[in-house]
Amino acid sequence: MTKIVFLDKGTFPTTLEAKKPSFPHEWQEFEGTPKDQIIPRLQGADIAITNKVKLDDETLSSLPDLKMIAIAATGFDHVDIHSAHAKDITVANVKGYAVNSVPEHAMMMIMALSRSLLGYQSDIEKGEWQKANQFCFFNHPIEDLHDKTLGIIGRGVLGAGLARLASGFGMGIMYAGRRGDKDPHKPYIEFDEFLEQSDIISIHCPLNDHTRDLITKNEFSKMSRNPILINASRGGIVNEADAVDAVNQRKIRALGVDCLSLEPPRNGNPLLSIAHYPNVIITPHIAWASTDAVQSLWDSLINNIEEWQKGDLKTAL
């Protein structure tokens, strides 16, 4: 009987309608799995399900029975794909499940930061408005989105989804070319020019060798329009210490982040030092996690496993 082990089922909400594969199988699930328990828990398993638990070459070499890795996410930087291929282990991720959830979350942060929503909410809680001499007061900047230029890093389904929403507000859209490419093909524009011309920058690309530390103090220095920066993609794409400096030195006027380099940040993170700022929003990696998106993710995950069981699925990344 096929043995399936889910290493970090706790990454899904308990309210999920979590159907299991329709074929006969043995199912084991764990809230989470520390590094020293990965190999023991996967001994004898045919299928490993992981959302964020790392499966490197050393781990895979110790699991001769493993035949499939079902990734409960789109990102796969935590799985050694080359090692899996060499060992004839099928790897499948889930694409397209958060096509509305992530763009809407990014758009929410853009709107909130443009109009200083959190700052004004905090002022109400502190009683500042109640002490004002007029019917309103202007304690924070308020910007319209109409005619602003939104620069998007990543032109996949999520970046395109955000562009669709932003277009409804009358925003202009630009896509960043690869850093170092001086003559990108349309609709991409040269990366430094992109940084200079964007009023708002939103990141929707994977974390890999090309995108790690994509935004550092060097890139912040080129953001001449003092933009809002949004990262609802992966921690590590934006250098976090440099982002703190950029906020404090007003190189950017606001920052919205849904992902950190280490999650959760139990040992601290530079960004937490500015989390209380009225022009900073940090959310706990939930851009993907609308009820609709989570259900779609689970259904697709199980479908991948069933397709593999039938022999209809090879590595799908």
- Asked if 78 is an active-site residue, the reply is no
Task: Report the alpha-carbon distance of residue 268 to residue 262 in Å, rounded.
Answer: 9
Catalytic hit among 105, 234, 240, 253:
234
Residues 6+ apart with CB under 8 A from 173: 149, 150, 152, 163, 166, 167
Helix (H) or strand (E) holding 42: helix 38-42
- Asked if 82 is an active-site residue, the reply is no
- Asked if 285 is an active-site residue, the reply is yes
How is the beta sheet containing 2-6 ordered, strand by strand? 25-29, 2-6, 47-50, 68-71, 90-92
Catalytic hit among 105, 204, 253, 285:
285
Write the DSSP symbol of residue 161. H
Catalytic hit among 26, 31, 58, 263:
263
Task: Write the DSSP assignment of 250-272 as a string of letters.
Answer: TSSSEEEES--SSSS-TT--GGG
Cis upstream peptide for 187 (omega within 30°): yes
Write the DSSP symbol of residue 127. T
Structure tokens belonging to residue 121: 């909410």
Task: Write the DSSP assignment of 199-237 as a string of letters.
Answer: SEEEE----STTTTT-B-HHHHTT-TT--EEEE-S-TTS
State the catalytic residues.
Answer: 234, 263, 285
